[in-house]
Amino acid sequence: MKQPVDLRPDHAKIVHEIIARYLPAGVSVRVFGSRAKWTAKPHSDLDLALKGKEPLARSVLGDLAEAFSESDLPFRVDVVDWRTVTPTFQAVIDRDAKALRWPIVTLGEVASEITVGHVGSMANEYVPEGIPFLRSLNIAPYRILSQDLKFISPDFHKRLKKSALKPGDVVIVRTGKPGVCSVIPNWLSDANCSDLVIVRCGSELRPRYLAYWANSLAAHHIGSNLVGAVQQHFNVGAARQMPIFLPLVEEQDRILSVLGTMDDKIELNRRMNETLEGMAQAIFRDWFVDFGPVRRKAAGETDAVAIMGGLTLEPARAAQFAALFPAAFRDDDLPVGWSERPLDSIAEFLNGLALQKHPAKPGEPDLPVIKIAELRNGLSDRTNRAARTLPSKYIIKDGDFIFSWSGSLMAKVWTEGEGALNQHLFKVSSDVYPQWFYALWVQHHMPEFRLIAASKATTMGHIQRMHLTNAATVCPPNSAIEAMSAIMQPLWDQMIHNELENRTLAEARDYLLPRLMSGAVRVARESEAA
């Protein structure tokens, strides 16, 4: 496979080793002259241009020159500092030079094994408990999903030795979303799989580095090598031929220290939000569905901490919240002083527009169209655009609560930036009640709404506005809800903050990833950082 510049792989490795050892971070390396133009002879010089924010120290250039002269390279290496040459020479370099990137290899050259998960019927092999069995739906970029995880017996697992998984194995989805890739984590010590490409990396390739590559820069190769007339899939042969930039393992580790730190924080925020959402749902159910504090007071409980179910262990604070709940029920089993109201009376449900009637125009401001797919998966290159000349109420902003009432019913706080509200989506808002209150009521009724949508004899199930009216909510006095927000609002705000932080982290990661993995940007060594 042709390298970006005219260097043999073994020679390129020596060059990269020297650069990694002596060149400061933030300095780009470009090749110019005959080896950039592919007109070089075997012993032609290698001309390198270094460009940092400031002129390089003479000691750096001296160390590089000495290292190259003492190396096993069979040709001379000339190094120039772009900042110190004439403007004319700078222009020549900028016109003709090519970035010195990491050597390109195929995955088959650096993997110790590439195989495929079990292919065959599994209908009679699943058991309630046993060895975790991964399918394509359990693989997400950089993580394993435990939702709808299947299990097989230990005996069947032993018969499927070829597809057995262990921590550090890399799995790549073959069908459905080909190319989605993750590393088997340590907590999944014993597992098996079907319909996945399994890669066991050799000593020159870090598993997590491969996962970053497959989920990003390998997209073109994967998309161009799908096979199958009925259902396209990514096969083992195409995986072996996947081209990959391969820096030294030490450089891979430095790259992973940057990308991995961001992804670890994203995962931490995601898990924190799962916990926060679980807490908010549990508190909401105890207060407004099961009426826990009211029932405990009605049963004669006088200890405020016990009345609040241990939500807060501080007696004075518990007493403040316990006072918000009545001590008796009405004849209709609602707490005294509370009222039942239709869901669509506590919030406005604004339906989106048919945005194909508002197309974006070249050269004019526009917005991404937020459809069901964007609500579920976020914005992508496939997201349509609409003219920005929409009424402002149809423009979604960070923090808006969006409810998909057709197709895949779901509701969430939007955190992907400004967008245009498409039909089949509600923007839910209220001038009276806090977002946590009406949003959790929507979530409470979601299972019922999904059943209604599933019962529709149409290709796209949906609910109607009458179903919002028929969905009952229970509302304390407004003053009580305002006081309850002292507990609920911080949980809600933290979840939104975490989602917004994850978007920022993901954008930074996606910006850096191709630059780090190609060698266009280097990570500082520990000695430099110190």
Active site residues: 45, 47
Task: Determine the Cα–Cα distance for residues 135 and 497; give it in Å rounded to an integer.
Answer: 32
Task: Provide CB contacts within 8 A for 122, sequence distance 6+.
Answer: 133, 150, 152, 194
Q: Please check whether residue 152 is in contact with residue 127, taking contact to mean a CB–CB distance below 8 angstroms.
A: yes
Cα dihedral sign for 52, 58, 59, 65?
positive
Sorted by sequence, the CB contacts under 8 Å of residue 160 that are 6+ apart come out as 118, 152, 192
The three state secondary structure string of 335-356 is ECCCEEEEHHHHCEEEECECHH
Element (H, E) at 417: none
Q: How far is the C-alpha of 405 from the C-alpha of 402, rounded, in Å?
A: 10
Contact 214, 139 (CB under 8 A): no
The H or E element containing residue 199 is: strand 196-201
State the Cα torsion 446-448-449-453 to the nearest 10°. Answer: 140
Tokens at residue 231, please?
Answer: 């259902």
Strand pairing class (46-51; 28-32): antiparallel
Cα of first residue to Cα of last residue in the chain, in angstroms, is 39
Q: Of 143, 34, 183, 30, nearest to 97 (Cα)?
A: 30
Q: Around 139, how many Cα atoms within 13 Å sit in the side-chain half-sphere?
A: 30
Residues 6+ apart with CB under 8 A from 331: none
| DSSP letters for 262-297 | HHHHHHHHHHHHHHHHHHHHHHHIIIIIS-HHHHHH
Measure the CA–CA gap between 367 and 396, rounded to whole angstroms.
10
